[in-house]
């Protein structure tokens, strides 16, 4: 059982490393300053560990609100330390809600037109 868990951890670490590498490669090209492999590994390791910190915080916030599912409110709390970050996450959350509302309207519209067609038949 723990061998599986280790394997999952390694895969996740490798995934983070790959993603960080791609992001850093893009930024290196944009700003004409490349990252050494050591730095990419260090950023990946830091991001991976920060995930652990975030996850534990998220779980604590959800439990404090007597929920077992972590919601976007918990994420907004996690991002509270920096004002700019907090505003950024709140805006993203608003965007997501707006998209979902638009999607619901579209689906409701489709359903209505489908119903009227069926009743006509």
Partner 1 sequence: MYLLSLNIHAVADPVHRAHRYNFAKILFSELTIQRHETVSKLLSSSFKEDKTRLSGDAALLMAELLKVFVQEAAVRSQKQAESEDCDQVDIEHFEKILPQLLLDF
Chain contacts with partner 1 (rule: CB under 8 A): 3, 5-20, 22-24, 27-28, 31, 33-39, 41-47, 50-52, 54-56, 58-59, 62-63, 68-72, 74-76, 78-79, 81-82, 85, 88-89, 92-93, 96
Residue among 63 and 114 whose Cβ is closer to partner 1: 63
CB of 114 to partner 1, least distance (A): 26
CB 119, min distance to partner 1, A: 34
CA distances from 64 to 55, 61, 72 (A): 14, 5, 14
Nearer to partner 1, 33 or 120 (CB): 33
CB of 68 to partner 1, least distance (A): 5
**DSSP element (H, E) containing 10:** helix 2-31
Residue with tokens 């919601």: 71
Write down the residue that tokens 């409701």 correspond to.
108
Planar angle of CA 21, 24, 26, nearest 5 degrees: 110
Smallest gap, in angstroms, from Cβ of residue 108 to partner 1?
20
Helix 2-31 to helix 37-64 angle, to the nearest 10 degrees? 120
């Amino acid at each position: 059982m723990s061998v599986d868990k280790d394997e999952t951890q390694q895969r996740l670490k490798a995934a983070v490393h790959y993603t960080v590498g791609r992001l850093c490669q893009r930024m290196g090209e944009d700003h004409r300053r490349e990252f050494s492999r050591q730095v990419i590994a260090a950023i990946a390791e830091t991001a991976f560990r920060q995930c652990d910190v975030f996850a534990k915080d998220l779980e604590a916030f959800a439990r404090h609100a007597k929920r077992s599912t972590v919601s976007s409110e918990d994420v907004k709390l996690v991002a509270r330390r920096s004002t700019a970050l907090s505003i950024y996450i709140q805006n993203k959350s608003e965007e997501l809600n707006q998209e979902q509302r638009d999607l619901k309207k579209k689906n409701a519209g489709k359903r209505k037109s489908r119903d009227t067609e069926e009743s006509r038949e």
